[in-house]
Structure 1
Amino acid sequence: MLLGLARGSGPDSLAGMRADAPPYLRPLLGVPRATTEAACADLGLEPWHDPHNTDERYLRVRVRRTILPLLERELGPGVADALARTADQLREDAAALDALAEEWVEEIAEHSEAGIALPVAALESNPPALRHRVIRLAVEGEFGVTPTRAQTVAVARLVSDWHGQGGVDLPGVTVERREGLLRFSAAPGGGTAAASALEADSPPHDSGGTPSDDPR
């Protein structure tokens, strides 16, 4: 959550790591390390310690071993639990908005061989949080591309700040406002773009987490 806050990457990132994010399941994510170590000791088991979780070349490790203890000292005990509760609430809110956006985009989207179109009036009548999600879902579902926050906002300006400007270019996708519709089509010569690559989690500039970064 702290890494997402530092990157300014929105509520989905602030929601933190999920315990059930198929294909990865982390049933012990909410169990403190001391509890799992004590359980292993009681059962006569020797736990395996992932060396990446103590390698301070990784940003997530420095946050866990340096920043969180500092916050606990300066703000009082319970900071980690408070952050976890906040992440849970954000995850619930994000899931609700995503579900609304998925239903809405199915209702209003117009599909064609050229791509997909969304009615401007429908987008304009809803709050930005929902509008941005619908735009992102339309691009992801049709072209396999996940637009950044800046790209999504640029497309949304064709709805909320329209003054006859030209279209917006996304990776492999062109977005134009014509005849009351936002029209999304594959960029000439680009075909459908592949999904954006995830940042590699390699020292010393890791993005803060990997599927195997389970803080148990």
Structure 2
Amino acid sequence: MTRRAQQTLIGAVRGFADRHLDDDAVCVALSGGADSLALTAAAIRAGLTVHAVVIDHRLQTGSAAVAARAAETARELGASAEVREVTVEGAGGLEAAARRARYAALGEARDSRPVLLGHTLDDQAETVLLGLARGSGARSIAGMREWSAPWGRPLLGVRRADTREACAGWRLPIWDDPHNDDPRFTRVRIRKEVLPLLDEVIGGGAAESLARTASQLQDDADALDPPATELLEECAYGRALDVQPLRSAPAALRTRVLRGWLRSVGANDPVYRVVRAVDALITDWHGQGPVAVGGDERARLVVTRRAQELTVKRVPR
């Protein structure tokens, strides 16, 4: 069992490298947890030249010692390693702020190398369920991509249990983040409560099925995103959007155009309700007022229709 898990991990990394990498030099985002630790070990054994980047979020007592220990473990495996401290702050809650800080630090540390992340099939299943529950649309339900330069996820087809088994076989010291068991976080409850119940109800295989759903939706997105991008370029000029070319566009293209345009004018991650309201300014126009699409404590961001044009502006609160 242990050897099988190890071979699965090494094979996953080798396959990923063959599909996506032009060079054997990579960064690995290392937390010290089983997934990223197993990825680091497997990448080295797959023949990659690994530089481990450990992000210390400084959110827990003793985090500096945890980060230093993870970096030292990477060096013992044969990687180079560094620790980067970040400050977690900003809107969107603790998880979102930590993610922004982490990815920014990894982007600075990578020095033109791709960054490998330890997300597993279980993480993918949790992401799909969260997207479904929030009604976030196909882009969210499609989950995480194996490769979206410079970010790579070689373990999206590997179960979390395999990473722990491999680490045990390689005698690697796993650090279990207390946040991963904290029910205050929605993802933790999905992991601990929802997925096990779903597995019980359908007789097993829930995580694999959800991951397959993500893969199929990624194929759909690959077909729809390029024409949506072309349509957006045709319609958008500055902070305005020409309504006329969008009126006859299929809804799948039109809503992709609207999401892209809203992001470009400052509406971060527009939810379904917002996109639907803005879409109604195009498809069900009867003189309705502005649609709020975001903002901050000083001003709201609103979209208004005038004649054949949508415009966005900030309105002081």
TM-score (norm 2): 0.51
Choose from 4, 8, 11 the match for 2:138. 11
Partners of 1:60 and 1:34 lie apart in 2 by: 18
- Structure 1 residue 66 corresponds to structure 2 residue 193: yes
User: Which one has the bigger helix percentage?
Assistant: 2
Equivalent residue, structure 2, for 1:100? 227
Residues 170, 78 of structure 1: alpha-carbon distance in 2 compared, 3 angstrom cutoff: closer
Choose from 128, 139, 154 the match for 2:262. 139
Residues 63, 135 of structure 1: alpha-carbon distance in 2 compared, 3 angstrom cutoff: closer
- Structure 1 residue 117 corresponds to structure 2 residue 241: yes
> Which 4+ runs in 1 deviate beyond 3 A?
17-26, 164-171, 187-190
Choose from 184, 195, 207 the match for 1:80. 207
Residues 132, 7 of structure 1: alpha-carbon distance in 2 compared, 3 angstrom cutoff: same
SS in 1 for 2:245: helix
- Aligned-pair Cα RMSD in Å: 2.6
Equivalent residue, structure 2, for 1:154? 277
List gaps (5 residues or longer) in structure 1.
Answer: 191-216
Q: Which shows bigger deviation, 131-140 or 79-88?
A: 131-140
Q: CA deviation at 1:22?
A: 6.1
Q: CA deviation at 1:20?
A: 4.0
Q: Which shows bigger deviation, 152-161 or 164-173?
A: 164-173
Choose from 154, 162, 170 the match for 1:27. 154
Q: Tell me the number of residue pairs that the alignment of Structure 1 and Structure 2 aligns.
A: 183
Partners of 2:155 and 2:259 lie apart in 1 by: 32
Q: Percent identity?
A: 48
TM-superposition CA deviations, 1:38-95 (whole Å, max 9, x none):
3223323222222222233333222222222222222112111011101111233234
Q: CA deviation at 1:130?
A: 1.2
TM-superposition CA deviations, 1:117-161 (whole Å, max 9, x none):
31x3310111112112212212322x2223332222222222211
What amino acid does structure 1 have at the position aligned with 2:163?
T
List gaps (5 residues or longer) in structure 2.
Answer: 1-127, 295-300
SS in 2 for 1:187: strand
Larger RCO (CA within 8 A; separation ≥ 6) = 1
Residues 67, 109 of structure 1: alpha-carbon distance in 2 compared, 3 angstrom cutoff: closer
Partners of 1:34 and 1:170 lie apart in 2 by: 41
Q: Is the 8 A contact 1:174 1:187 kept in 2?
A: no
- Structure 1 residue 56 corresponds to structure 2 residue 183: yes
SS in 2 for 1:57: coil
Q: Is the 8 A contact 2:247 2:282 kept in 1?
A: yes
Partners of 2:234 and 2:315 lie apart in 1 by: 28
Partners of 2:180 and 2:146 lie apart in 1 by: 18
What amino acid does structure 2 have at the position aligned with 1:145?
A
Q: Is the 8 A contact 1:102 1:134 kept in 2?
A: yes
Partners of 2:271 and 2:183 lie apart in 1 by: 29
Equivalent residue, structure 2, for 1:211? none
Q: Is the 8 A contact 2:135 2:272 kept in 1?
A: no
TM-score (norm 1): 0.72
Residues 74, 151 of structure 1: alpha-carbon distance in 2 compared, 3 angstrom cutoff: closer
Partners of 1:57 and 1:24 lie apart in 2 by: 28
